[in-house]
Amino acid sequence: MGRLFRKTIRQCTRPGSSSKLTALDSLVEHEGSTLDNVATGAEVGTIFANRTVAAWLRALYDVWWVACCSGLNFQDLMVRQGAIDSPPKTPFILGFECAGEVEEVGEGVEGFKVGDRVVALPEYRAWAELVLVPAQYVYHLPPGLSFLDAAALTMNYLVAYILLFELGGLSPGKSVLLHSAGGGVGQAVAQLCRTVSDVTVFGVASKTKHEALKSTIDQVLERGSDYASEVRKLCPEGVDIVLDCLCGEECNRGYSLLKAMGKYILYGSSNVVTGETKSFFSVAKSWWQVDKISPIKLFDENKSLSGFNLRHLLYQQNGAPYVKGIMDSVFALWKDGKIKPVVDSTWALEDVSTKPRDVPEAMQKMHDRKNIGKIVLDPSLEPKPKPATPAKGKAKGDKNDDKKKDEEKKEDDKKDEEGDTPATDSAPENKEGEGSS
């Protein structure tokens, strides 16, 4: 855990704080203490044996706490595969949202105290047992909201709320076309649409998810099919809002389905994430398939085109106060019982990667779009048992076993040869005995 925490510290630094970290390392070494003094689990009450080190951390960070649950988002897959602008330098810790109890509060920070139940949206490093984050990205949890539900609710419903109400202007009688309807944001959008009367939701999803989505989506459409024709049959004039997290050729189809005064909102580009690594050609192909829409075309057709990136809004565009207001609205809807986060599955931190590839790990499940709702990581869980060695490995093992058996056979033959020498010397005696009888 010490090495993990050291990485966390190094990736949590604010601009210009590298000299402080160098001093911190020197201080730790001089005082005879190490970052392995970090306590986890039940021992969280004594974070550092050396309180001077803790003072340095208070100078660098505002709030830190034990993370009980963390959310897995498609943004994490994009980062892992390098499909984002300005990716962090390795090594770094993934994760953009987590929930837990405040363990320490920085000097001068108001509104938080040790023991507060909170959720936060840090820029990376949320997949850890101990998370450090500036206070402006931390939000108090309403009473009764569990850490598990908080990790499933925060980012997904925050994004969905902004898409529908802030950018889309959702009102009674409107229609919405939603891509990836079975994902975490998709399920959040479906529930939020139910808070407004007479809203029709068209959801595009894999056929295997259709049965599970019928209770929340009015019209479930198959991914990869000619869903545009199906929408036209029910809404000849088109739909009011299109929410697209895919990009690529879906942009053209979605835009063509907008009615007059309709709004097309792009909030992701998951179609560029293909295979185990990002391909430059797949990215180029996706964007090449997008028609260039001129402002004159928007003007002539009375349509709106907009985009949304929560990460940029929070960390690059000083959007923390705005996001805080939206979070208050989302929590109010939860307290009124109008929304309920959908959790697909929970995983241990060790189960988040995609290696070995034959193991159905958490990230691979999202990559393959097999989740319905949110995938949550829980540091308190034990990792899932690994399957037996794959066939390829077994073949290699069998080869080693054969080699070992050959060596043992040679050794046995050698022993037999050594045993034959005295037997040869005694042969005449045996022959004489046989002759006398």
Say whether both 240 and 290 belong to one domain: yes
Residue 436 lies in a domain: no
Say whether both 212 and 286 belong to one domain: yes
Residue 126 lies in a domain: yes
Annotate 363-383 with b (16+ C-beta within 10 A) or e (fewer): bbbbbebbbbbbbbbbbeeee
Say whether both 132 and 172 belong to one domain: no
Q: What is the mean pLDDT of each run of 10 residues along the chain (437 residues)?
A: 33 33 33 31 29 42 67 76 73 85 84 91 84 90 94 94 97 95 91 97 91 90 87 94 84 89 86 48 53 79 92 93 97 97 85 55 77 84 70 50 62 56 42 39
CATH number assigned to the domain comprising residue 371: 3.90.180.10
Residue 197 lies in a domain: yes
Is the CB of residue 57 less than 8 Å from the CB of residue 107?
Answer: no
**Whole-number pLDDT of residue 392:** 52
Structural domain of 119: 46-153+342-384
For 104-197, where are the alpha helices, taking DSSP H only?
A: 147-161, 184-193
Say whether both 261 and 148 belong to one domain: no
**Whole-number pLDDT of residue 422:** 43
Domain count, the chain: 2
Say whether both 182 and 296 belong to one domain: yes
State which of 249, 283, 307 marks the end of a domain.
307
d(CA 349, CA 357): 16
Got the DSSP string for 67-96?
A: EEEEEE-HHHHHHHTT-SSSPPPSS----S
**Whole-number pLDDT of residue 76:** 75
**Whole-number pLDDT of residue 351:** 80
CATH number assigned to the domain comprising residue 188: 3.40.50.720
Model confidence, pTM: 0.72
**Whole-number pLDDT of residue 434:** 39
**Whole-number pLDDT of residue 88:** 75
Please give the span between the terminal C-alpha atoms of the chain, in angstroms, as a whole number.
82
Say whether both 250 and 201 belong to one domain: yes
